[in-house]
Amino acid sequence: MEKVILVTGASRGIGRAIAGHLAKKGNKVIANYNQSEQQAMKLQAELKQENIDIDVVKANVSKREEVKSMVQSVLEKYGKIDVLVNNAGIDQEKMFQDISDEDFRKVIDVNLYSVFAVTQEVLPTMIQNKNGAIINISSVYGVTGGSFATMYSASKAGINGLTKSLAKELAPSNIRVNAIAPGYINTDMNAHLSKEDRKALIEEIPLQRVGEGIDIARCVNWLVEDDYTTGQVICVDGGWE
């Protein structure tokens, strides 16, 4: 059955893979972007060539008013949102002593506050329908922490805590809440790594390969179709952690 699915941060990387994969599975996908309009439109055009239609919508998900407008536009067109994938996120590597208040607030706003804000705006339609799925894209660093990634790790750990708590709160409304914690995935966010660093990381991964966006997308699709899993943080990392 076709589901209406909102994916935040869907123009690049993992979000792009998720949006494309879910659309190919026959769902009505709304792909959110903020700055990467060209990439979002390219995704839409590529899927159109396969006779697959997706919507693209611009919104800074760290801004409540823009989130409200985005969700309202989706509800006006489709009348519901069955699945929310909170994927939007940024990274900023700095030594802890060099982190400014502005740095910290920006990472927390984009990575964690956006999950709070978008979820809060989407929930009324799910509660009314007594059905829904919320899938938050976290990170293995939210479980283990990462050197020079204090802000990022803290934001992702926050997502994990929010996921587990909200899953308990929303279970009576038949709304499932889960998180996926990717490991080392081949995205723009990791493009800065040198060949030596990349090789060293791969040697630490038992499956001996870098993950791809489709690996995360397949897990998202499983959580869309499953109706009994909730409150979980699922590491998709090739056995890395």
Q: What is the pLDDT of residues 205-233, one digit of tens each?
A: 888 888 899 999 999 999 999 999 999 99
pLDDT in the model for residue 191:
61
Catalytic, out of 33, 141, 152, 184: 152
Sheet holding 132-137, edge to edge: 55-58, 28-33, 4-7, 83-86, 132-137, 175-182, 233-236
Q: What is the mean pLDDT of residues 10-38?
A: 97
How sure is the predictor about 94, in pLDDT bands with cuts at 50, 70 and 90?
Answer: very high
* 184 labelled catalytic: no
Q: How far apart are the C-alpha atoms of 220 and 135, rounded to whole Å?
A: 7
Q: At what angle do helices 114-129 and 64-78 cross, to 10 degrees?
A: 30
Rg of the chain in Å (alpha carbons): 17
Mean pLDDT confidence for 135-164? 95
Instruction: Supply the pLDDT for residue 195.
Output: 77
Confidence of residue 128 (pLDDT cuts 50, 70, 90): very high
Name the pTM for this structure.
0.95
Tell me what pLDDT residue 84 has. Answer: 98
pLDDT band at 120 (very low <50, low <70, confident <90, very high): very high
Average pLDDT over residues 170-196: 85
The more confident residue out of 191 and 32 is: 32
Average pLDDT, the chain: 94
- Tell me what pLDDT residue 31 has: 98
pLDDT for residue 209: 87
Q: Where is pLDDT greater, at 93 or 241?
A: 93
Given the candidates 3.40.50.300, 3.90.1150.10, 3.40.50.10210, 3.40.50.720, the CATH classification of the domain at 4-236 is 3.40.50.720
- Residues 6 or more apart from 208 whose CB is under 8 A from it? 202, 238
Q: Which residues pair with 31 in a beta bridge?
A: 7, 56
